[in-house]
Chains A and B, each alone.
Chain A
Amino acid sequence: MSDRKQPPPGLVGPVAWLRTNLFGSWPSTAVTLALLYIVARMLFDFAEWAFVHAVWTVPYGPTGIAQTAVCQDAKGTGACWAVIADKYRLILFGRFPYAEQWRPALVIALFVALFALSTIKAVWRRGIESRLVQNIALLAAAAIVLDNAAGLLDTIAAVGFGWHLPLPFDLLFLGNTVGKYALICGLLLLWPAVGVWIGTLGAIGILMFGGQFGLSPVPVDYWGGLPITLILATFGLAFAFPLAILVALGRRSTSMPAVKTLSVVYVELIRGVPLISVLFMASVMFPLFMPPGINVDKLLRAQIAVILFAAAYLAEVVRGGLQALPKGQSEAADAMGLSYWQKTGFIILPQALRLVIPPLVNTFIGFFKDTSLVLIIGLFDLLTMGKVALSDPPWQSFSTEVYIALAVVYILFCYGMSRYSRGLERELNSARGR
């Protein structure tokens, strides 16, 4: 056994660390000192403003109006966090009925739980392999489609010809209701991730709309705040994803030039224009597209715009994954005699999509932030609610505090997601042996 030598003194320990990392050379020392001064100064000023001289509560007048004289006096020297204390429910939950605001709060918690659950690998594995469960799920899906199709046909017949279809609607509705639960249970067993997503998004819909399980119905006009931001981003991406896969496959197609052209035109057109113009289109042009008499709710219109916009960006992300796969995979699948959809579904997509999870999360972060643009078309998302809170006369001049609070909410979500995506990237790179 050779006796282990200690490293020479002066190469380890905190002093050595300081010498190499902060005071390595004269220029480095100068930079360190200058930065230390600036940072200390800024932190000190900020702490003084945000904590030492800050006003946390204000008295309320007899009519319930906030008396903000204390805050006005402290303006410039101290923050007025009382505006947050007064308005946080308005900012987070919008104009949702006050007594029912536990529902949007629960929705936010569900979203966070959904994101957290999605980061667990085990959730994304295949569940059990059972023919019986597969058949039940298919049957349930058929029942849901049947009821909806019958309803649609009946509406068309009623509007167009003025008569109703002779169908057993009660039975169909029952099949639909039972089918929904059966489908979610089946998916949870077969493919846990898909089941969790559909189940949670469905529960979120029920919580927001109400009208079931004894929840009072709440019209979409009263929704607002963080749930809107989360709904626009999450539903947007969830619905855009299947479309994006089809468009990406279409763009890579060699045997269908017409489909390829359509995909290219769609992607490049959407990516060439700002989201604002697509949102404007949804808010002012969409009503013109619809036949007279049909009104589509503003939130749904914005949601459709976000879906169409996100699909183009996601399609490029997915295409990146498809291109990164070695050609041999596809050739081997062809040699095995698999059909196009077998090859794509079982060989290509599972590998390609695994590659693109990190850029996918980054795209999601981007869209989470971009949903704030609905402010411009007058939807009440988190940012808009911040502005609404600021329009209250007593609080009008405390926008800095509100904007900082909003920024903190956005940072919490985005930072969490970007940490996750970076962790994945590192894992992927180490798996590839780089």
Chain B
Amino acid sequence: MPATLADPRTSGARKAPKRRMRLSWSDPTFRSIVWQIVIVGLVVGIVWYLVDNTNRNLAARRIATGFGFLGRVAGIPIGESPISYSSASDTYGRALWIGVLNTLKVAGIGIVLATLLGTLVGIGRLSSNWLMARLTGFYVEVIRDIPLLLQLLFWYTMLQGLPVPKQSWRIGDAVFLSNRGIKVPYLIWENAHNWASVALLCGAIGTFVWSRRARAQQEATGLRPAVWPVALGLMGALPLAVWAALGAPMAFELPVLRGFNFQGGGTVSPEYFALLLGLVLYTAGYIAEIVRSGIQAIAIGQWEAAGALGLRRGAILRHIVLPQALRVVIPPMTSQYLNLTKNSSLAVAIGYQDVVSIANTTLNQTGQAVEGIAVIMAVFLTISLSISLFMNWYNARIALVGR
């Protein structure tokens, strides 16, 4: 049989004959190339024009370009910092790095808390209890209709309206709530705690390995060895034993009122607390809706079918419903995490020193506007890309595998 008569379905897709591009306006390839050259040329031209103007303006104002200022002494007073800092000797680079850490601190904890609260509220909206469903619905509606910035200002003023340290609200002699923030006891960290943490990490790895083995055994024999006793032993008893063997140190540093303010103990500053509260309450409203739609997306037949197979309610939730709901929930959840991280930049309005706030002070002090904004954008792009890369990886892992 001549090859030209071969069935196109078996001989692979028929290829369009290769045509040479004609240099004519009626040729679509030629047209698209011309259009692309025009558009790219326009964009490059505009950017070049703006950059040229900027360079000339900077030269006229005698502002040096470049990131040399990062090495200069900053002199920015920073109220709270996870690493040591002194405004007299440390550089702009270090100040900005503290800003990044502060941003990560509020965004990381905010994401965890907002997910927890949002999940609870989302489940509450589906409650069979009418009052519960209505109240959570009211919360979701109202919190999403008020600008976050207004909420932050509101919480911040509320916290500033708290009593002075001398009349602070207290829980025993340990936790104090005043207009200087929340004072909590601080665990004095010792070597034993380090080793206990190492033990916990090892325990977590051990548990992971054991659960992989358990799954392999289940697939081979149909019987699943229990995982929870091993998990409890490796992640609970082992670190405790290590800690006890090293003398079980457990000393707290209590906040003590000295004069007009507290000494010692750990502090949650009013700025941080207001920002965290605002971000968590606001984002939880959105996460609640995502969780609700995720649960509602699972057909009731899934529950019934699993029940008919004899699975218990917990097992149905764990093995049937959640894996399917997660698939619906992950992409919008990712964008909420990104929103929370980006919204943490509103810190600048209430004086929490995140990266935007410190970069803003830097560019006001040094006049390095371009570099300051470049730093802000680079930091947020890096965080955004990391979160979306991680969530995309997770999404791909749990996605339905098509045949």
A residues engaging B (CB < 8 A)? 21-22, 24, 28, 31-32, 35-36, 39, 255-259, 262, 269, 271-277, 280-281, 284-285, 287-292, 365, 369-370, 372-373, 375-376, 383, 387, 399-400, 403, 406-407, 410-411, 414-415, 418
Contact = CB atoms under 8 A, between A and B. Distances in A.
A273 B342 contact: yes
Contact of A410 (B131, B146, B342, B376): B146
Interface centre among A22, A262, A274, A290, by most B CB within 10 Å? A274
Interface string B40-71: 10010000001001101110100000000000
Contact of A280 (B57, B373, B384): B373
Contact of B150 (A22, A288, A403, A415): A403
B371 to A, nearest CB: 10
Contacts of B372: 284
B145 A288 contact: no
A141 to B, nearest CB: 23
B381 A273 contact: yes
Given A21-B128, A373-B346, A256 B36 contact: yes
B380 A256 contact: no
Nearest to B369: A284
B36 A410 contact: no
Contacts of A410: 145-147, 150
- Which interface residue of B35, B50, B147, B349 has the most chain A CB atoms within 10 A? B147
B360 interface: yes
Interface in B281-313: none
A346 to B, nearest CB: 19
Contact of A292 (B50, B60, B131, B360): B60
B50 A289 contact: yes
Contacts of A403: 150, 153-154, 157
Task: Tell me the dominant secondary structure on chain B's binding face.
Answer: helix
Contact of B380 (A21, A259, A272): A272
Nearest to A269: B381
Contacts of A31: 127, 129, 131-132
Nearest to B141: A415
A273 B377 contact: yes
B380 A289 contact: no
11 contacts: A24-B129, A35-B131, A255-B32, A262-B39, A273-B376, A274-B343, A277-B380, A285-B369, A289-B50, A375-B349, A407-B150
Given A255-B32, A256-B35, A32 B342 contact: no
Nearest to B381: A272
Contacts of B129: 21-22, 24, 28, 31-32, 35
B244 interface: no
B315 to A, nearest CB: 21
B146 A292 contact: no
Contacts of B153: 383, 387, 399, 403
A370 B346 CA distance: 11
A258 B40 contact: yes
Contacts of B57: 287-288, 290, 292
Given A35-B132, A291-B53, A292-B60, A284 B373 contact: yes
Given A21-B128, A21-B130, A280 B376 contact: yes
Contact of A289 (B54, B148, B381): B54
B147 A369 contact: yes
Nearest to A25: B128
Given A291-B53, A400-B157, A277 B373 contact: yes
Nearest to B363: A284
Interface in B341-369: 342-343, 345-346, 348-349, 356, 360, 363, 369
Residue among A273, A372, A387 with max Cβ neighbours from chain B (10 Å): A273
Most buried by A among B53, B57, B129: B129
A39 B135 CA distance: 9
Q: Chain B, interface size: which category?
A: 35 or more
A36 B131 CA distance: 8
B370 interface: yes
Contacts of A36: 131
A344 B35 CA distance: 17
Residue among B39, B130, B385 with the highest chain A CB neighbour number at 10 A: B130
A272 B381 CA distance: 5
A274 B380 contact: yes
Contact of A22 (B53, B60, B130, B158): B130
Contact of A372 (B28, B147, B381): B147
A289 B370 CA distance: 10
Given A280-B373, A372-B149, A400-B154, A274 B54 contact: no
Contacts of A272: 377, 380-381, 384-385
A265 to B, nearest CB: 10
Contacts of A273: 342, 376-377, 380-381, 384
B257 interface: no
Contacts of B370: 285, 288
A291 B349 CA distance: 31
B319 interface: no
A411 B151 CA distance: 12
A368 B319 CA distance: 41
B348 to A, nearest CB: 6
Nearest to B56: A292
Contact of B148 (A287, A365, A369, A399): A369
A370 B147 contact: yes
A217 B47 CA distance: 35
A289 B49 CA distance: 8
A35 B154 CA distance: 25
Given A35-B129, A410-B150, 4 more contacts: A28-B128, A35-B131, A276-B356, A285-B369
Contact of B348 (A289, A376, A383): A376
B381 to A, nearest CB: 4
A285 B377 CA distance: 13
A31 B141 CA distance: 21
Residue among A256, A276, A369 with the most chain B CB within 10 A? A276
Nearest to B370: A285
Nearest to A30: B129
Contacts of B343: 274
A287 B373 CA distance: 14
A24 B57 CA distance: 72
A383 B369 contact: no
B142 interface: yes
Contacts of B356: 274, 276-277, 280
B158 A400 contact: yes
B389 to A, nearest CB: 12
Contacts of A407: 146, 150, 154
B144 interface: yes
A280 B376 CA distance: 10
B157 A375 contact: no
Given A277-B376, A284-B373, A292-B60, A32 B157 contact: no
Nearest to B50: A289
A38 to B, nearest CB: 9
Contact of B39 (A255, A258, A383): A258
3 tightest A-B CB contacts, nearest first: A414-B145, A21-B130, A274-B342
Contacts of B345: 274, 276-277
